[in-house]
Amino acid sequence: MKLNCDLGESFGTWQKGQDDEIMPLIDQANIACGFHASDPLTMQKTVQLAVKHQVSIGAHPAYPDLVGFGRRTMAIEGQELEAIIIYQIGALQAFCQQQGVQLDYVKPHGALYNDMMKNTDLFQHVCRAIASVSAKLKLMIQALPDTLVFQQIASEHGIALYFEAFADRNYQSDGFLVPRSEPNAVITDKQLVIERCQQLMSTGHILDINNQPLAMQIDSLCVHGDNQQALALVKTIRQQMSRNT
C-alpha cells in the first residue's frame, strides 16, 4: 500500500500545508493545478520538491472554485468540464516535462472527486479527458466495496485505476465518505486515525461510522494536506507501513 497526500495548495502569499516536511515521507503527491488552489510558481516548486524526494506525481484538478477551495459542486456541461480537466493536467504536465519526469496519474479534487463517484456520466467525462491527454495516465478514485462499474468505464477509455482510502475521513455504511457538511466528516483525533490505519493494515478493512468493516481493494492511503494533524499523521502512518513490510 502506498501513502499519498494533497500538496501544493498554497496560493500567492497565502500558505497552506507543510509540503517541505511531508513530501519526503510519502509515495505519491497530488499536486493542485490552480483551479481550487495553487499558482504557477507553487506548482513549479512542488514538482521540484517531488522530484527531489523521488515521489510519484499526480495532477489534482478541480472545479474552477478558488473561493470555495474546490469543495462546492458546480453545474458544468460535459465538454467544458473535459476542457477544464485537460487544461489543468496540461499545466502540471509542462512543469513535469521541465523537470524531466513523467506525470503518473490524475486524482480529481474535492467536489469533483465526490461528484464523479456518484455520477457515472461525470465519471465518463473525467476518463475521456484523461485519455485524450495520455492513456498512460492512471486515475485515482475512491475505493468502494463494489467498483465494477468504474472499472468498466475506465477500461473503455484504456485507463488504469488506483483505488484509495482516507486515513482522516469517516465512512458511511455504503463505503462513501461522510459529507464534509456533517460535523464528523473529518477525523482530527490523531490517535483514532492511527488506530484506524493499523486496523486497515492488519485486516485489510477500514471501519465505517458504525464500526463495521468495509472490504475494499486499497492501493493507496490518503492524508489530506490541509488537516491540522497532517504532518504528525503522515510520520506515524509511514512508521506503521514500514513495520508492516
Extract the C-alpha cell encoding 18. 507543510
Please give the torsion angle defined by the CA atoms of residues 244, 229, 199 and 25, in that order, rounded to the nearest 10 degrees.
-20
List Cβ neighbours of 216 (8 Å cut-off, separation of 6 or more): 143, 144, 145, 147, 163, 165, 175, 205, 206
Task: For cell 477551495, name the residue.
Answer: 69
Task: For cell 489543468, name the residue.
Answer: 88
CA distance 167 to 196: 7
The domains found in the chain, sorted by start residue, are: 2-166+216-223 (3.20.20.370)
State yes or no: pLDDT of 244 exceeds 90.
no
pLDDT tens digits along 42-78: 999 999 999 999 999 999 999 999 999 999 999 999 9
Instruction: Give the chain's length.
Output: 245
Residue 126's SS3 state is helix
Using an 8 Å Cβ cutoff, are 28 and 4 in contact? yes
pLDDT tens digits along 115-157: 999 999 999 999 999 999 998 999 999 999 999 999 999 999 9
**What is the chain's alpha carbon radius of gyration, rounded to the nearest angstrom?**
17
**CA distances from residue 49 to 55, 57, 105, 151 in whole angstroms, order as listed:** 8, 10, 17, 32
pLDDT tens digits along 174-183: 999 998 888 8
State yes or no: pLDDT of 113 exceeds 70.
yes
